[in-house]
Structure 1
Amino acid sequence: MKLERKHALVLLAIAAWNVITYLRFIKALIDTEGRPTGYYVAHTILVIVNLLIAALLGTWGVRAYKASKASQSSPV
């Protein structure tokens, strides 16, 4: 499957959105006190999984962007 530049930008935007929102979520989680340990464990796992998803989408977005750039500059 060939991804175009617009697809790469969408992947990068989603990855950036995940990072921004979950960094804010981490701050809110740190500021929370008096919750059971299970609350912190569950939310920490959610944060880790979502940041891994962001890293994967960001990697795909960068690769797609580079591939679209290379295909535009190569003579047809």
Structure 2
Amino acid sequence: MRMSGRTSLFLLAFGVWSWIIWVSFARNLWESDRAWAPDGSPTAYFVVHAVLTVVSFVLGTIIGVIGWRGWRARNQTKE
């Protein structure tokens, strides 16, 4: 399958953007008062959002890698 340079750059930018956003979210989640019970254990709020964060990291990475591979393949065919 071939993809355009624009599509490759979009996917790559999406992957990078996803990491920037979710790292910030994870930091804020960790520091949130709602994330931890008084005894120090994680709350359901923390667990649900931690799973969401991990899934988003994985999907952002996969999408970014697809974009990177598409960009590299596009540049290799020009030579």
TM-score normalised by length of structure 1: 0.88
Q: Which residue, out of 48, 64, 68, partners 1:62? A: 68
Relative contact order: is structure 1 or structure 2 higher (C-alpha 8 Å, sep ≥ 6)? 1
TM-score normalised by length of structure 2: 0.85
Cα 1:31/1:5, change in 2 over 3 Å: same
Q: How does 1:1-76 map to 2 (within 5 A)?
A: 1-35=1-35, 37-73=43-79
Alpha-carbon distance in structure 2 between the residues aligned to 1:51 and 1:65: 21
Deviates more, 1:3-12 or 1:43-52: 3-12
Gaps of 5+ in 2: 38-42
% identity of equivalent residues: 26
Q: SS where residue 3 of structure 2 aligns? A: coil
Match of 1:45, as an amino acid?
A: V
What root-mean-square deviation, in Å, do the aligned CA atoms of Structure 1 and Structure 2 show? 1.2
Post-superposition, which runs of at least 4 consecutive aligned residues in structure 1 deviate over 6 A? none
Gaps of 5+ in 1: none
Task: Report how many aligned residue pairs link the two structures.
Answer: 73
